[in-house]
Every structure is written in C-alpha cells, then in structure tokens.
C-alpha cells in the first residue's frame, strides 16, 4: 500500500492533467496528514444521468460512469490514498432486467481488459470483494487475469465490490468462523470483533474512513455494513457520471471538517 504522506505541492505536481485554478484552491485547502486512508463510494445515478439526457437506454449512463471510475482511481493514486472500494454491482443488482445485467457484465469485462495498462502505469493493485463465483465465467477469468497482472503493485489498492452485499459478506464470514469452530480451531465463546473483521473479504484494507454516495440518496444500500461503523458519510447530489476529481476533492474537504470521535468525547 501507499507509503509516506505527500505534500500538497507533490500532489499538484503529479496530478494529470494539471489541476485547474478551482482544483488547485481545493487542494491547497486540504490537510495532507488528515487524508482518508480508505475511501468507499456508492456510484449511484447512472440511470438518471441517461434519462436527463433523453437517452432511452440506462446503459449509456453506466458507460459514462466508467470515465468517472477512471478519473477517481487516478486521483486517489495521485493523492496517495491507500484503498478505494467501489460498489460496482450488488447482490440485489442481479434482479435488474436481464439486458441491463448482461450489459453491465460486458462493460465490466471490457473495463478489466482495457485498464490493465492504466492500472500498471499508476501502480494500482486490483482486488475484488463479493460472491465472485456468481459472476459469468468470462468475467471471472478477466478479473483473475487483471488481479494477477497488478498483484505486485504497491500503490493504491482498488477494491471492486462485485456481486457484493454487506449482509452476504457477514453470512460468508459467519460460515468461515463456524467451519473453524467445527474443526476445533476456534472456541465460540472466544469469538471477538477482530475474528469477525478478519473473516471478511479483504480485512487487510481496514475500514473506510470516508463513504461517498453520489446522486443524493440517503441510504447505505447494503454496502460494507460492518466496515462503515465509524465512516464519515458524504452524500453529494452529483450523479456518478458527472462525479470528477473536483467533486472528490470537495468530498475530502467535507470529511476533513468532521470531528471524528469514534464514540468518545472530543479532544479526549
């Protein structure tokens, strides 16, 4: 994962394309030592984006959303963020119309294939969280190949939540722990929060500090239910396909205004 904190001047120097005046002002307002370590995002509003443009097919919104994914991944890398978890496809999304599910799977496959170069250039390591065995085989193959190709990268970890549900993840964790109990490796009375956290899909990423939801809905939608216990939530009205690096900077600045108490008293 990423190393020492960068200065804002270093961030500006490595931001490509060069930041606009507005973006430079946002960057200058940031406190580099208080950047979130792990950011999670619920990428909502693709369908509405398409509808607002009079596009009959919601898929056009998902396609446009890919450009936001690309820019946000790059920006997180430039900022020196350690991990970014993106909610790309939920367990509930399987119930969408069949043509939308197939289009999303095709888009995902295309993204995985097309982005290997960019992920490599930016030293990004790809991992995935979810019931991956439920994905079509060709998508699983592409996913495995991109994960293997980026496995040695030491910068940002991009965690794609695919066929993901927070409750499903907890069920899977409980099953793992129950198997350990059955083998006699774990005493049920001794099960701790650390044991549950350790049985989740990617415990090494740690909990998200900042959860961003685009398109204005005030919902958690079964995302990272265990891990967001103390995440700061920023909801923006911007639809995902319009969410760009200035919006990420603004969300981080909002996060930096929050007083994170973790259930304790301020300053204690």
Which residues are designated catalytic? Answer: 44, 93
39 touching ligand FPP, by CB under 6 A: no
* Closest CB 63 distance from ligand FPP, rounded Å: 8
> Binding ligand FPP by CB under 6 A: which of 66, 147, 178, 186?
66
246 touching ligand FPP, by CB under 6 A: no
Q: Show Cβ contacts of residue 242 under 8 Å, excluding neighbours closer than 6 positions.
A: 49, 68
- Pairwise CA distance, residues 112 & 21, whole Å: 33
Q: Quick one: 94 or 230, whose CB is closer to ligand FPP?
A: 94
CA geometry: angle 163, 165, 166, nearest 5 deg:
150
Q: Can you read off the two tokens belonging to residue 15? A: 């931001």
- Pairwise CA distance, residues 13 & 28, whole Å: 13
Residue in the structure block whose two tokens are 């820019």 = 71
65 touching ligand FPP, by CB under 6 A: yes
> Binding ligand FPP by CB under 6 A: which of 26, 27, 39, 47?
47
The CA radius of gyration of the chain, in Å to the nearest whole number, is 19
Q: How many binding residues for ligand FPP (CB under 6 A)?
A: 20
Q: Quick one: 5 or 120, whose CB is closer to ligand FPP?
A: 120
- Pairwise CA distance, residues 184 & 174, whole Å: 15
CB 189 within 8 A of CB 203: no
Residues 141-160 that bind ligand FPP (CB under 6 A): 160
Q: Quick one: 43 or 177, whose CB is closer to ligand FPP?
A: 43
- Pairwise CA distance, residues 187 & 139, whole Å: 38
Instruction: Return the sign of the alpha-carbon dihedral for residues 88, 205, 4, 143.
Output: negative
Position closest to ligand FPP via CB:
47
x-marked contacts with ligand FPP along 164-203 as a string, rule CB under 6 A = ----------------------------------------
> Binding ligand FPP by CB under 6 A: which of 86, 135, 177, 234?
86
Judged by CB under 6 A, the stretch of 58-66, 129-137, 149-157, 220-228 that binds ligand FPP is 58-66
Judged by CB under 6 A, the stretch of 1-9, 25-33, 38-46, 259-267 that binds ligand FPP is 38-46
Q: Can you read off the two tokens belonging to residue 169? A: 């993840």
Phi, psi of 202 (to 5 degrees): -135, 70
Which residues are paired to 234 by β-bridges? 212
Q: Which residues bind ligand FPP (CB under 6 A)?
A: 43-48, 58, 62, 65-66, 69, 86, 88, 93, 107-108, 111, 160, 215, 240
């Amino acid at each position: 994962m990423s190393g020492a904190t960068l200065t804002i001047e270093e961030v500006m120097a490595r931001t490509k394309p060069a930041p606009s005046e507005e973006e430079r002002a946002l960057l200058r307002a940031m406190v580099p030592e208080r950047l979130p370590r792990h950011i999670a995002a619920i990428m909502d509003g693709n369908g509405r984006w398409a509808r607002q443009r009079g596009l009959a097919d919601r898929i056009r919104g998902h396609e446009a959303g890919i450009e936001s994914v690309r820019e946000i991944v790059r920006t997180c890398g430039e900022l020196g963020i350690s991990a970014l978890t993106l909610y790309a496809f939920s367990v509930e999304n399987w119930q969408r119309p069949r043509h939308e599910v197939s289009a999303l799977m095709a888009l995902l496959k295309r993204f995985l294939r097309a982005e290997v170069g960019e992920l490599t250039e930016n030293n990004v390591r790809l991992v995935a969280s979810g019931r991956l065995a439920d994905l079509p085989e060709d998508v699983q193959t592409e996913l495995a190949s991109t994960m293997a190709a980026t496995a040695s990268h030491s910068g940002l970890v991009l965690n794609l939540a695919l066929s993901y549900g927070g409750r499903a993840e907890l069920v899977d964790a409980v099953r793992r722990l129950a198997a350990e109990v059955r083998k006699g490796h774990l005493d049920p009375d001794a099960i701790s929060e650390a044991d549950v956290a350790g049985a989740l899909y990617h415990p090494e990423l740690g909990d998200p500090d900042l959860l961003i939801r685009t398109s204005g809905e005030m919902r958690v939608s079964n995302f990272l239910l265990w891990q967001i216990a103390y995440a700061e939530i920023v909801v923006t009205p911007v639809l995902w396909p319009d969410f760009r690096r200035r919006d990420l900077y603004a969300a981080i600045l909002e996060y930096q205004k929050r007083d994170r108490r973790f259930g304790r008293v301020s300053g204690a």
